[in-house]
Amino acid sequence: MRSRVIYADTYRKRHQRRLFLLAVLIIALGALFVWWHQRNPRPDPQTYPVLGVRLDQTDGVQDFDSLRSSKVSFVYLKATEGSSYFDDNFNTNFNQAAGSRLSIGIYHVFSFETTPQAQAAQFTRQVGQNIGDLPIGIYLSYYTEKKPSTQWLTTQLQTFVTLVQQHYHRQVLLMGSPSILKAVQKVDSQAPRWVVSDKKPTTSSGFWQYTSGARLPNGPHADYRAAVFMGDRAAFLKLSQQIVN
């Protein structure tokens, strides 16, 4: 009888310890979850004073005055993708951003499945003259397991760039991971690059998208694809409405 009491007491203590450890684990995971969603990995604002965000329809319609209050200086809005897709929120966000005194860029997501001619026609048809004041962005990603050859990608992309520049006479901005930007390094080599990486790029110019989802300092309660310009404000202002022949 005595041994049963000792056993029951030992079992109770073990059970209590397990519950305690489980509670600690739940609290720790909760704290980690809150930290992850409230973290602010923004690079040093003294080194990179010009902050911006890249938006598409998954971000919804934005309050651009609120973004500006969060010290955001520019926005890049997704316009088109491939030869048939048009972002549902593009026109609304563009019109509202235009009244916010933010610098505006727009971008096209390049497709491997359709011709550059068809993509350029879709882009110019849907965008019209709403191209903002920053270089026209062209976003690139290896979204299929089979990567296109560097030669094919370079040729197709250069054709698209040429068609867009012939229509708008505006500088372009190539956007993507370090690996895909390296593959197209010969395409309009003088054009700025937008590097998507959680590590500081080796380049000292262009844009650095340092996160694909994080809070802005003192910003809205939402995660953003945030980026900084790799230069000072004077250099950033020189990008505005750069003309190419």
Quote the percentage of the chain above a pLDDT of 90: 76
- Write down how long the chain is: 245
CB 26 within 8 A of CB 207: no
Supply the pLDDT for residue 8.
Answer: 61
Quote the percentage of the chain above a pLDDT of 70: 84
CB atoms inside a 10 Å sphere around CB 19: 10
What is the chain's mean pLDDT, rounded? 89
- The pLDDT of residue 196 is above 50: yes
Instruction: Give the relative orientation of helices 150-168 and 116-127 as an angle to the nearest 10 degrees.
Output: 30
Tens digits of residue pLDDT in 71-96: 999 999 999 999 999 999 999 999 99
Supply the pLDDT for residue 218.
Answer: 79
CB 176 within 8 A of CB 194: yes
- The pLDDT of residue 245 is above 50: yes
Distance CA 42, CA 214 (A): 9
User: Quick one: DSSP state of residue 185?
Assistant: T
Q: Which amino acid is at 229?
A: F
Supply the pLDDT for residue 242.
Answer: 86
Average pLDDT over residues 130-149: 95
Supply the pLDDT for residue 27.
Answer: 44
pLDDT band at 243 (very low <50, low <70, confident <90, very high): confident
Residues 6+ apart with CB under 8 A from 235: 229
Partner residues linked to 229 by β-bridges:
207
Cα distances (angstroms) measured from residue 166 to each of 96, 115, 123, 171, 243? 28, 17, 13, 11, 11
Tens digits of residue pLDDT in 154-163: 999 999 999 9
21: three-class secondary structure by DSSP: helix
User: Residue 172 — φ and ψ, nearest 5°?
Assistant: -110, 165
pLDDT band at 23 (very low <50, low <70, confident <90, very high): low
Supply the pLDDT for residue 201.
Answer: 93
pLDDT band at 35 (very low <50, low <70, confident <90, very high): very low
Q: What is the dihedral of CA 74, 75, 79, 80, to 10 degrees?
A: 100
- The pLDDT of residue 233 is above 70: yes
Higher-scoring residue by pLDDT: 34, 46: 46
Average pLDDT over residues 124-131: 97
Average pLDDT over residues 160-168: 98
CB atoms inside a 10 Å sphere around CB 26: 10
Distance CA 186, CA 199 (A): 23
| Greatest C-alpha distance within the chain | 97
Token pair of 207 as six digits = 């844009």
